[in-house]
Structure 1
Amino acid sequence: MFGRIGAPEIILILVVIILLFGAKKLPDMARSLGKSARILKSEAKAMKSDGQQTAPAAPPQPGAPEDNAPAPRTIKAAPGDVSSSRPVAEPTDSTQR
C-alpha cells in the first residue's frame, strides 16, 4: 500500500514543491545544491590526498638552497570557477630550525 511510489505520486510531489517554492527559485536552489556538492567533493579529495602524504620527508641539508619548497595549494569550488578560489595556508613546523 505505502511501499510503491508510482508516477501519479511523483507528479503530485513535484506540483507541491513548485507551489511551495515557486518555479523561479527552483533553478537557483538546484544550482546552489550542485555547487555545494562540488565543494564537498573537492574538500574530501584534498583531505584524502593529504592523508596519503603522511610519510615524513628527509630533513633539509645544511647550506642547501630551499628551491624545493612546496607552492601554496589552491582549492577551487568548481572547475573553471576562479572567483571562489582561495589559497590554502599550509601548517608550518616551528620545531625545526
Structure 2
Amino acid sequence: MIGNLKPLEIVLIIAVILLLFGAKKLPEMARSLGKSARILKSEAKAMKKDDETATTAETVQDQGAQQPIAPRTIQAAPGDVSTSRPVTDPHRAQS
C-alpha cells in the first residue's frame, strides 16, 4: 500500500497529521506508542514462555501416565480412620 503512494502524497499525509495533532503532541504520542509496543512484546514473550511450560508439563504428565499411580492418603492420628481422606496431587496425572 505504501509502495503505491507518491512522495507528494506522503508529504501531504504528514502535513495533515501535523495539523491535526500539533507538533507538541507528536513526541508524546510516539513515546506512548513505543511503551505500548514494549508492553505488547513482553506480554507476547510471557505467553510464549507459559505455552512452552505447559507443553513441557503435559509431556511429563504423558510420560507419567504410563506408570500406575497409587492413590495417596493423608494420615490422621494412629487408629483414626474416620478423618483420613484421599489426596489429589495436581502434579500427578490421575487415570
- TM-score, length-normalised on structure 2? 0.55
Counterpart in 2 of 1:32? 32
Partners in 2 of 1:35 and 1:4 — Cα distance?
30
How many residues are aligned here? Answer: 59
Which ranges of structure 1 fall in alignment gaps of 5 or more residues?
Answer: 59-94
Partners in 2 of 1:36 and 1:8 — Cα distance?
30
Q: Deviations over 1:74-94 (max 9, x none)?
A: xxxxxxxxxxxxxxxxxxxxx
State the percentage of identical aligned residues.
64
In structure 2, give the amino acid aligned to 1:8.
Answer: L
Counterpart in 1 of 2:73? none
Which ranges of structure 2 fall in alignment gaps of 5 or more residues?
Answer: 62-87, 91-95
Q: Which has the higher helix share?
A: 2
In structure 2, give the amino acid aligned to 1:9.
Answer: E
1:48-59 alignment, distance < 5 Å? 48-54=48-54, 55-56=56-57
Q: Deviations over 1:18-69 (max 9, x none)?
A: 00000000000011001100100000000101110123379xxxxxxxxxxx
Partners in 2 of 1:17 and 1:7 — Cα distance?
16
Counterpart in 1 of 2:64? none
- TM-score, length-normalised on structure 1? 0.54
Counterpart in 2 of 1:42? 42
How far apart are residue 15 of structure 1 and its match? 0.5
CA RMSD of aligned residues (A): 2.3
Partners in 2 of 1:43 and 1:32 — Cα distance?
17
How far apart are residue 5 of structure 1 and its match? 1.0
